[in-house]
Structure 1
């Protein structure tokens, strides 16, 4: 380990203990290849620094009198790197959770109501020099970092600091450089938020609260005050976890007119088009995964398909971003060993990242991002003397960083006097002349005597700093015989010393450099053989097993001679053709034709509308419940749609084309829902049904009063069924008061508004007001008749209607009242007796509600059941003798009616969306398979291609396993594979740590 040497600079405000150092501190670095910035390189240049600043840089620079001259012949000078994702020098976060729920904040003082809102945190106030961690960064080439707290949703300000070891007020270059956000609540032990959607909602509400706070005089909130003060800073968002979080962070920023600098996860290539459209500058880690140890086939089974593909594709991420024109910054954050940075970047450059863009992403772009480009990131007059001295590109793992100068202070890591001797030489030993070639590493060069065109003699050599010992025996005996031994030293222009000849006599010798070695000519890209480098596997959408190389697109499809179940008054049509065109059902009839159409023979097969699941929890990221409070109407499943969930594909294989993704049942008033089409391969926004009515999840029963949550959950209200009614009454009463307050304010004249404060916007109340005004509709988790009656009475009192009682199991007891209220029922076909409050459930429930004229649907509430809703519908025939067509309607047009989508989908009718399923058999048969599942005219599942797809997955896995085995054979690091688990959400699913989930 080399010692770091510093030219200490006394601060003007500090007393000096001893003699003040008045030396000018001028250094001249000559004969270097100077990389002024990422696009300007000057060979044989001079860099002049005085104390902490650069005073001159370029060729033809005069060396000031008294300067210490550093001859850097053969060396390179680059700007030191800049790290924007660091918490260097900040104290560790502390967290300790009590035994029970924590509903209130614990932060002492006039701070926010939520401990995860830490906008008041000021990194500059907490920063202390951390020599140990700074040293690791400097060895990797960094000269400055943006340090900030990595704790909380709103994390306060960051400070831009140099990596020196002097007093903190000399190392801080910009005390308020940035403002930081994340989706991780960090050390906060407050229950809220308990989900990703809760975190997003809390950040949104904080933006609204901060705007309101500026114009009110009722209270002091130091968190909101700091939040407003930080708005003029560069805004950073750590969206780690997966690439979809980048889209979520950007969407949140767009809502409030903020363009975040977003830290990603290294998998951006998987959703590149959507990420490019954010126009965000990204901070990208380069912690590429090591190959998995797959020698044991059972170990290989533990490695998921997407993990294998990501191992291969991760080094291409930066190249893909580069080619797409996305601006990015490279971070070392995430690397367990900072010394691996150059190795990771070498991999990225090998697969197409341009070296100048790598340098830009570590110097100029991070400097520009925080408004420090006039100080760091380049090597120009007046800028800080932050630079590294290397023996070549810093993006090669074998390159040495000799020195890293930070604010004009030297940090030495390798012996800079070590000379690269590689080249051609004229060797003279006494009266003998030879040609000498030196190649290899500077620490261990290889010497070869070239006696003539055909004779090359190896030289035994030893190099110790500047001392050289050589010995060889010429093969050309005309010149000499016997062994010649040379001893000498390295000089400015070559080598010289004394030589002992074979006869024992001594002579002078010297080797003068005459030129560079010839470089081996690299084959041009088009000349490389196919075996030089195997191309990586193709991208798939989504980036999981069964992902597709191309997103399905709408086709003109003519399905001929099928049995068509219309779910309309037309009933079942035998031997009928259906034309799908421009995403719609264009024609239904006999003997249809269409130019250029893809014709599918439906003979012996059945065509139905796509199955619709009124109650699903698939395709949701990091938590289905925000159960931290009794009312969480502010949270929204639309914010956390997971387009990469394999259950989308699995349910397509069961004929499902649309689903309502519901919040869970942890609280009486839960979150808003998302209604999607299962467009496998498309991004989250493309799955959402545009223009669909808005819904929200309410819940009744055991879950909401926490009777099945365990003994520690006895704090949050409500704890009884009558308390649940109290929550509804309170929420709607507050919503009416909220609406009145806004109506009063909006009725004021412009002049009156100027002298009044606007009411505080409340996302929770706004959502409940939407219910009161018929702009949002309730889907309520329900079991027991008494509570079903109660909620209908509440709705009547507040003059709105319940839309749906979902998975209702005692609906048969109150079906007449449901019909009178106008509420629909979505139920399980035959789930009962799995907990106390469903002991009275019966499998005749659906038939009895249907018989009373209630719009009745069969739902899943379960990822597995969602694959066979056609069979669940068939059970109503066994239990209740429901007519076949009516049974099918319970998973097609009836859920469409409940979701207010029946004018668009749910039946086969001209003009409706082309959402249909072609079955191999009677659609209510247990033998029926979905042969083709079509959404808006695009085939998203094709049974005929499934064998080919599975074979492709198997073949690709086998190829990747061979590649990983090759890495292990070549001595590269490997990691042990771990099974990838997935939480399958149900209504009652609660998670302890949403931040650890995808």
Structure 2
């Protein structure tokens, strides 16, 4: 049974969502084949293919090539258009937060530091007014992530055109999120205050160790079929111990990343660092563990006063040079629509165009543990963004159509409605 992230969601969620629900109707399941003709395909998996056709049948890509034919298919000429896999926005609160300043519309966090059983999917609002504004930029999937301290809960990967969470949820690895503590700085000149900060940090680490030790013992008992009194917290963490789940640790500084890596190494967890500002500095440790990074600071200022102004911008290139698998994420709700811009920024700071696109498509899907999305390839889900230009260029890359599982999505949204409204003023 899923647990709501906030008890208030059960009491206030229905009324708050009704007040902010969008009126775009989710597309019906694909029943007719669709043949997209003569487009420029940015396949991610097999380079860029010009003047190429794409056949979509029953929600899947079934053929790629030139001069394709399909009896009874809807034929759409996309000459001069650019076709991309639907983009993936990682580390968002989309559908969990509607209006940040209105508490009753914020269902992204619960109390306590030990909540691995909580599932963000239980609080997801597929009618959020924010969703159509985000998918208008070609974003087809979002990882919805619980916030909070310590073990905050489990995220879910959803498609952004659905009636319910059951329609929306895409199969992915179990994703448990741990917000690693930071060492508070009480003052640079006081040894006493530094000692207090260090002691407080070490106590939080000890608490995390205790949580995971309890979960480990529970996992051993479960393996031996010796569980007499089930505990939903430790039950939720079993996928970490059997290898079917991933631990997403939110950490930025080198010390916190390496402390988190030590914990994961102890138990053999699959590790994903979220944030990852200093991850490139810990390349040896992360590569040894085959860990990956969701980098979320692409449009941020430097973390340290003595760093160059462009430090945050070039970190994806540093991760690439260090051989660390990574994706670009955008830790927000409505602002996650800027994901293509964040990826574009990496091109100016060391990545090439293909690497930047891969960081918000195929690599993002692989980090989330999702199969058959993130690329234009036969057998993959028919999730495609059709753009008039480079999708990473906000000035010229206007998304003209979006298909999710072969369903053509309504790209109308609140922003466009207001734009046309005030054009008539």
TM-score normalized by structure 1?
A: 0.37
Say if 1:799 and 1:553 are closer, same or farther in 2 by CA, change over 3 A: closer
Rounded to whole Å, the distance in 2 between the matches of 1:953 and 1:635 is 41
- The answer to whether residue 161 in structure 2 is matched with residue 679 in structure 1 is yes
1:406-445 correspondence to structure 2 within 5 Å: none
Q: Following TM superposition, by how much is the alpha carbon of 1:934 offset from its aligned partner in structure 2, in angstroms?
A: 0.9
State the match for 2:78 in structure 1. Answer: 602
1:656 aligned to 2:130? no
CA distance in 2, matches of 1:831, 1:951: 27
Aligned partner of 1:558 in structure 2 is 35
Q: Does 1:789 align with 2:258?
A: yes
Q: 2:146 and 2:301 mapped to 1: Cα distance? A: 23
| Contact 1:701–1:721 under 8 Å retained in 2 | yes
Unaligned runs of 5+ in 2: 97-104, 187-196
**2:404 corresponding residue in structure 1:** 935
2:279 counterpart residue number: 811
Residues of 2 paired with 1:602 and 1:655: CA distance?
A: 16
| Residues 888, 829 of structure 1: alpha-carbon distance in 2 compared, 3 angstrom cutoff | farther
Contact residue 552 and residue 940 of structure 1 kept, 8 A: no
Residues 249 and 273 in structure 2, CA contact (< 8 A), matched pair in contact too: yes
Is 1:869 the equivalent of 2:368? no
Matches within 5 A, 1:631-670: 631-664=114-147, 666-670=148-152
Contact 1:616 1:660 in 2 (8 A): yes
- Which digits, 9 at most, give the CA deviation of each residue in 1:902-956, with x for residues without a partner? x3100000011001100110222222111111100011144xx779x8399969x
1:694 aligns with 2:170: no
After superposition, residues 810-849 of structure 1 pair within 5 angstroms as 810-828=278-296, 830-833=298-301, 842-849=312-319
Higher helix share: 2
Provide the C-alpha distance between the structure 2 equivalents of 1:239 and 1:946, rounded to a whole number of angstroms: 27
In structure 2, the CA distance between the partners of 1:571 and 1:722, relative to structure 1 (3 Å rule), is same
* Corresponding position of 2:89: 613
2:109 alignment partner in structure 1: 625
Match runs of 1:165-204 below 5 Å: 196-199=4-7
Question: Would you say 1:729 and 2:206 are equivalent positions?
Answer: no
Paired with 2:247 and 2:366, the residues of 1 have a C-alpha distance of 14
d(CA) in 1 for partners of 2:177, 2:306: 20
Deviations 1:458-492 (CA, angstroms, capped at 9, x unpaired) = xxxxxxxxxxxxxxxxxxxxxxxxxxxxxxxxxxx
Contact 1:694–1:777 under 8 Å retained in 2: yes
CA contact (8 A) 1:659 1:678 kept: yes
Deviations 1:321-357 (A, max 9, x none): xxxxxxxxxxxxxxxxxxxxxxxxxxxxxxxxxxxxx
Query: Per-residue deviation at 1:706?
Result: 12
- What secondary structure sits across from 1:842 in the alignment? helix
Structure 2 SS opposite 1:197: coil
Secondary structure of 1:725's partner? helix
**Residue aligning to 2:245:** 776
Larger radius of gyration: 1
Computed over aligned residues only, the root mean square deviation of the Cα atoms, in angstroms, reads: 3.2
Q: 1:765 to 1:911 in 2, by over 3 A?
A: same
CA distance in 1, matches of 2:410, 2:199: 46
Q: For 1:727 and 1:685, how far apart are their aligned partners in 2?
A: 35
Is the Cα contact below 8 Å between 1:616 and 1:662 reproduced in 2? Answer: yes
Q: Distance in 2 between matches of 1:740 and 1:816?
A: 30
DSSP 3-state at the match of 2:239: helix
Label 1:807 to 1:600 Cα distance change in 2 as closer, same or farther (>3 A).
farther
Cα 1:598–1:951 shift into 2, 3 Å: farther
1:668 offset after TM fit, Å?
2.2
Distance 1:925 1:952 in 2: 21
Alignment of 1:53-132 (within 5 A): none
Count of residues in correspondence between the two structures: 398
Distance 1:916 1:778 in 2: 29
**How has the CA–CA distance of structure 1 residues 737 and 951 changed in structure 2, closer, same or farther, with 3 Å as cutoff?**
closer
CA separation in 1, counterparts of 2:223 and 2:48? 52
Task: Quote the residue 2:100 is aligned against.
Answer: none
Give the Cα separation in 1 of the matches to 2:181 and 2:305: 8
Does the CA contact (< 8 Å) of 1:784 and 1:837 recur in 2? Answer: no
CA distance in 2, matches of 1:242, 1:729: 35
Contact residue 832 and residue 839 of structure 1 kept, 8 A: no
Q: Cα gap change, 1:873/1:863 in structure 2, threshold over 3 Å: closer, same or farther?
A: same
State the TM-score, normalizing by the size of structure 2. 0.84
Equivalent residue in structure 2 for 1:889, among 358, 375, 384: 358
Distance 1:833 1:912, change over 3 A: same
Residue 249 of structure 2 aligns to a residue whose secondary structure is strand
Q: Which runs of 5+ in 1 are unaligned?
A: 1-194, 201-237, 244-264, 271-305, 308-542, 708-716, 748-757, 956-998
Distance 1:679 1:793 in 2: 39
Confirm or deny that 1:850 pairs with 2:309: no
Report whether the alignment pairs 1:950 with 2:417. yes
1:836 CA drift (Å):
6.6
Partner of 1:879: 349
